């Protein structure tokens, strides 16, 4: 094999490797091209969104049904307003509950939708009325320690 042919093959494999790394980086960052399906926008307000980020998935029953498109702070209600873009193939009732959940070991946060029983579906521009904020681990630990510290010895079951 001549030197030129060898250099060409090495260059070809380097380009393929770079393209594969770019593809993986986009997939991990949720920045890959969407499937192009039409969407409709709804919003939800949360007291605490934790580490939720724009482009985070919106899931229902474990299936990705949309993406987070925007996160703003509402200066009137002092709550975080999260804009969601949902696939039009999935119609959710007006009494759907939106919850911020954590998945996996890395702690990726996403919005989980739990459908209600209303017959009227959410429409573009609607606001999800029932929401549950992210669970903040530091708050849970603090509450646990505060409750343990406030127990008297008789309550905790330890001898005097």
DSSP symbol at 32: S
Render the burial of 108-136: b for 16+ CB within 10 Å, e for the rest: ebbbbbebeeeeeebeeebebeebebbee
14-66 pLDDT, tens digit each: 999 999 999 888 777 655 445 667 899 999 999 999 889 999 999 999 899 99
pTM (predicted TM-score)? 0.68
Max CA pair span of the chain: 88
Count of C-beta atoms within a 10 Å radius of residue 44: 27
62-103 pLDDT, tens digit each: 899 999 999 999 999 999 999 999 999 999 999 999 999 988
């Amino acid at each position: 094999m001549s030197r030129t042919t060898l250099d060409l093959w090495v260059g070809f494999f380097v380009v393929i490797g770079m393209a594969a790394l770019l593809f993986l980086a986009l997939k991990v960052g949720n920045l890959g091209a969407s499937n192009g399906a039409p969407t409709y926008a709804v919003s939800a307000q949360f007291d605490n969104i934790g580490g939720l980020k724009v482009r985070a998935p919106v899931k229902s029953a474990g299936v990705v049904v949309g993406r987070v498109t925007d996160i703003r702070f509402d200066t009137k209600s002092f709550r975080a307003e999260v804009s969601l873009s949902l696939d039009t193939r999935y119609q959710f009732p007006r009494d759907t509950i939106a919850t911020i959940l954590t998945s996996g070991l890395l702690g990726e946060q996403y919005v989980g939708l739990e459908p209600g029983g209303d017959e009227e579906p959410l429409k573009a521009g609607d606001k999800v009325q029932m929401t549950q904020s992210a669970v903040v681990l530091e708050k849970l630990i603090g509450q646990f320690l505060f409750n343990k510290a406030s127990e008297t010895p008789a309550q905790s079951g330890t001898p005097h």
